[in-house]
Amino acid sequence: MDSLIKRLDPEILNALKAHDSKKAGVLRLLKSALHDEEIIKRAELTPEDEIKIVRKEVKKRVDAIEKFKAGNRLDLAEVEEYEINCFKEYLPAEMSVEELRAIVEQVVKENSEVKDFGKIMKLAMERLGGKAGGDKVAGIIKELLK
């Protein structure tokens, strides 16, 4: 499977051909974020790395939306929401809460001697392979470790 960076090139071109400069700009932002991370790592990104970066970009925009809404800048919040919708096209479908809970419970059960939240979180995220957001996983783990 091609890397996300390589898949973005034709999609940027298609957006430009369709005179959708807004989408082309968002895709360029994503490509730039991925490319920057490759430079930092000095290696090609794995699919898991790519998913983490896309999630990170989505989280940045969610935080920005909260601030824009607090500052009564709904026009800027709409721009951020558009970018989030574009980025979500490159994320795998998220698991249902029930599926997620079952996997996290299994990880906790398999590592019952470990009571450290951070270690359990790391193991759960590795098992999930980017199919769930860290905030949801963290909530379930906190609930289970009580």
Is the same domain home to 135 and 69?
no
Query: Where does the pLDDT of residue 141 fall: very low under 50, low under 70, confident under 90, or very high at 90 and above?
Result: confident
> Which residues fall within 8 angstroms of residue 26, CB to CB, at 6 or more apart?
82, 83, 86, 87
Model confidence pLDDT, tens digit, residues 23-34: 999 999 999 999
Is the same domain home to 70 and 131?
no
CA distances from 45 to 37, 72, 82, 97 (A): 8, 38, 25, 28
Work out the average pLDDT over 115-133. Answer: 83
Model confidence pLDDT, tens digit, residues 66-76: 999 999 999 99
Query: What is the extent of the structural domain holding 40?
Result: 4-88
Is the same domain home to 84 and 129?
no
> Which residues fall within 8 angstroms of residue 50, CB to CB, at 6 or more apart?
3, 4, 34, 90
The letter for the amino acid at 129 is G
The total number of structural domains that make up the chain: 2
Helix H or strand E segment including 42: none
pLDDT of 1 > 60? The answer is no
Is the same domain home to 113 and 70?
no
Higher pLDDT, 133 or 139: 139
Work out the average pLDDT over 84-100. Answer: 89
Is the same domain home to 83 and 105?
no
Give the number of other CB atoms < 10 A from CB of residue 30: 24
Is the same domain home to 65 and 32?
yes
pLDDT of 112 > 60? The answer is yes
For residue 10, the domain's CATH number is 1.10.1510.10
Is the same domain home to 77 and 19?
yes
% of residues, the chain, pLDDT over 70: 99
pLDDT of 142 > 60? The answer is yes
pLDDT of amino acid 115: 76
Last residue of a domain, one of 60, 88, 116: 88
